[in-house]
């Protein structure tokens, strides 16, 4: 069984990392008290702006170095609502072994804390920004919840959290249960789970703290 301490030992043994943000990644790795000079570690950056051609260039570096490398996410898990999927797919195409390591996932933490159906759920990412597509999408996901019993999970760009919360409360039936998990794994952590009828009476301000929204 992999543990956090096991993961740290793996990271300490690597000298090549693929990261979203070089500055924060260097700070994180230095904080692990590795027995390496941070400037001797090789970094490649991978973000939402990374093209497929750039992914192939990173793969060439991995092959040329012939050593293990780590893929780090800024928050959450690489490839799960985060960059990395194209790189992992390319690694498989080139016969490079991929080893996932356990880490905190705000999606799974929110689902665990929601009391919603954990046997049948869907992560839907971001809803459309513009109307009427946004309202239509919310209504369709509510229908899926009602007819299939499938829990629906969403994320939003933090500065739009409160707008999304208001849209959910405006559109969803009073009996629908909604969970909002805010700032998970931080000192600001809060998980609120209640029917829409109660959300209408007590509508908080989430602000720009990262949040997960769950219907079910």
- Of residues 99, 83, 87, the one with CA closest to residue 56: 87
- Of residues 176, 191, 190, 185, the one with CA closest to residue 114: 191
**Residue 159 domain-assigned (yes or no):** yes
pLDDT in tens, 93-142: 999 999 998 777 899 999 999 999 999 999 999 999 999 999 999 999 99
Say if residue 41 is in the same domain as residue 84. yes
Say if residue 61 is in the same domain as residue 127. no
pLDDT in tens, 146-164: 999 999 999 999 999 999 9
Q: How confident is the model at residue 2 (pLDDT cuts 50, 70, 90)?
A: low
- Domain limits for position 28: 4-93
Say if residue 131 is in the same domain as residue 83. no
Q: Kindly state the average pLDDT of the residues 9-13.
A: 86
Say if residue 120 is in the same domain as residue 82. no
Quick check: 76 pLDDT over 80? no
**Residue 53 domain-assigned (yes or no):** yes
- Tally of domains within the chain: 2
Quick check: 1 pLDDT over 60? no
Say if residue 140 is in the same domain as residue 203. yes
Quick check: 81 pLDDT over 60? yes
DSSP code of residue 116 = S
- Of residues 108, 127, 126, the one with CA closest to residue 118: 108
Say if residue 80 is in the same domain as residue 114. no
Residue 105 is predicted with a pLDDT of 86
Residue 181 is predicted with a pLDDT of 98
């Amino acid at each position: 069984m992999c543990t956090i301490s096991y993961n740290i030992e793996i990271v300490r043994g690597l000298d090549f990392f693929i990261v979203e943000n070089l500055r924060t990644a260097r700070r994180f790795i230095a904080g692990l008290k590795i027995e390496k000079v941070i400037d001797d570690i090789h970094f490649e950056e991978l973000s939402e702006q990374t093209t497929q051609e750039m992914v192939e260039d990173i793969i060439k570096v991995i092959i040329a170095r012939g050593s293990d490398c780590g893929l780090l996410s800024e928050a959450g898990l690489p490839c799960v609502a985060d960059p990395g999927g194209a790189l992992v797919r390319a690694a498989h195409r080139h016969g490079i072994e991929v080893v996932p390591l356990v880490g905190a996932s705000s999606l799974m933490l929110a689902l665990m804390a929601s009391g919603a159906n954990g046997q049948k759920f869907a992560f839907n990412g971001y809803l459309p920004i513009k109307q009427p597509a946004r309202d239509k999408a919310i209504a369709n996901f509510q229908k899926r919840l009602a007819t299939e019993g499938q829990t629906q999970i969403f994320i939003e760009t933090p500065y739009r959290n409160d707008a999304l919360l208001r849209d959910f409360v405006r559109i969803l039936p009073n009996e629908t249960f909604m969970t909002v998990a805010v700032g998970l794994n931080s000192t600001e952590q809060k998980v609120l789970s209640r029917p829409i009828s109660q959300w209408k009476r007590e509508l908080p301000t989430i602000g720009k703290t990262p949040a997960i929204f769950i219907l079910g």
